């Protein structure tokens, strides 16, 4: 299972939000330095999200995302506000390894078909859900897609996405542990690789995620944010847990 240390961007800074609430923000300084620290420890991927763009659809922090991709030897998976083909082209053409599309993927099937065809193997879909999958949220988690998690996964059955990135919103930034049971249901419901996000707080949580199996399939990766920036979980021990488990 791959570890994806998270670097969330707002107004040029590295931040963490609590349950996606823009009014509950904690600042963590220079995002490039943070990404460099994770890569220096051995992280092979960095998960970067432009929170301002996720909310508005305007690529406020794109140059910063691209600077991270230029400066960091790890592969960058970038999300937030990618709602046009040109957005994906700009990121993937300038050093980003994979993009994560969310709002546009839920609202525009033609966009998703075109972007996955144009960039095979380099487009993941973000499914951010509340209420144990009862609602998939969009627009920086401030609006509903009117889809359940099961509905959204069914829509992706025949689409060639690189992965589905599944976030339990209630657990995000809460250090409350991952939604292992919910992730098991996701693995049962989709053939796509699954990257888990939300709630990881310890080595034991990573072991639980890495050992999860449904019909012989496990998780492709786990995104960890708050536990790393707060020092609750060390980057080296997190990487070791992911490499040694499963």
User: pLDDT by residue (tens digit) across 73-120?
Assistant: 999 999 999 999 999 999 999 999 999 999 899 999 999 999 999 999
Break the chain into its structural domains and give their ranges: 2-244
Q: Which residues pair with residue 25 across a beta bridge?
A: 17
CA distance 45 to 35: 10
pTM, 2 dp: 0.95
CA distance 119 to 128: 22
Q: 50: closest CA among 31, 26, 33, 29?
A: 31
Whether 246 has a pLDDT exceeding 60, the answer reads no
87 catalytic residue (yes or no): no
Q: How far is CA 199 from CA 109, 168, 177, in A?
A: 30, 8, 4
Q: Which residues pair with residue 128 across a beta bridge?
A: 137, 167
Of 50, 52, 87, 128, the active-site residue reads: 128
Minimum mean pLDDT among 28-32, 136-140, 158-162, 231-235: which range?
136-140
Report the percent of the chain where pLDDT is more than 90: 81
pLDDT digits 0-9 by tens, 9-35: 999 999 988 777 777 888 999 999 999
CA distance 179 to 113: 29
CA distance 192 to 95: 24
CA distance 211 to 10: 34
- Tell me the CATH number for domain 2-244: 3.20.20.70
50 catalytic residue (yes or no): no
Q: Is 214 helix (H, G, I), strand (E, B) or coil?
A: strand
- Band the pLDDT of 154: cuts 50, 70, 90: very high
Of 8, 52, 172, 179, the active-site residue reads: 8
In which residue are the tokens 């888990």 written? 196
In which residue are the tokens 């599309």 written? 101
Q: How far is CA 84 from CA 68, 111, 140, in A?
A: 22, 7, 16
Report the percent of the chain where pLDDT is more than 70: 99
CA distance 92 to 82: 11
Whether 207 has a pLDDT exceeding 90, the answer reads yes
Determine the Cα angle at 118 with ends 115 and 124, to 5°: 45
Please give the DSSP secondary-structure letter assigned to residue 217. B
């Amino acid at each position: 299972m791959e570890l994806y240390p998270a670097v969330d961007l707002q107004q040029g800074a590295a931040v963490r939000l609590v349950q996606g609430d823009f009014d509950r923000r904690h600042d963590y300084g220079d995002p490039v330095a943070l990404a460099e620290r994770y890569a220096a420890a051995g992280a092979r991927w960095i998960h970067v999200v432009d929170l301002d763009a996720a909310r508005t659809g305007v690529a406020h922090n794109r140059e910063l995302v691209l600077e991270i991709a230029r400066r960091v030897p790890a592969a960058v998976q970038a999300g937030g506000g990618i709602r046009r083909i040109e957005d994906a082209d700009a990121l993937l053409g300038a050093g980003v390894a994979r993009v994560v599309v969310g709002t546009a993927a839920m609202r525009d099937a033609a966009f998703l078909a075109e972007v996955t065809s144009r960039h095979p193997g380099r487009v993941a879909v973000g499914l951010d859900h509340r209420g144990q999958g009862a609602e998939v949220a969009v627009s920086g988690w401030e609006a509903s897609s009117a889809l359940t998690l099961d509905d959204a996964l069914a829509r992706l059955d025949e689409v060639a996405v690189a992965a589905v990135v599944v976030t339990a919103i209630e657990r995000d930034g809460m250090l409350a542990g991952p939604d292992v049971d919910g992730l098991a249901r996701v693995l049962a419901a989709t053939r796509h690789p699954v990257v888990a996000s939300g709630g990881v707080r310890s080595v034991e949580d990573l072991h639980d995620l890495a050992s999860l199996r449904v019909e012989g399939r496990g998780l492709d990766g786990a995104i960890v944010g708050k536990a790393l920036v707060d020092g609750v979980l060390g980057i080296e021990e997190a990487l070791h847990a992911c490499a040694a488990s499963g």
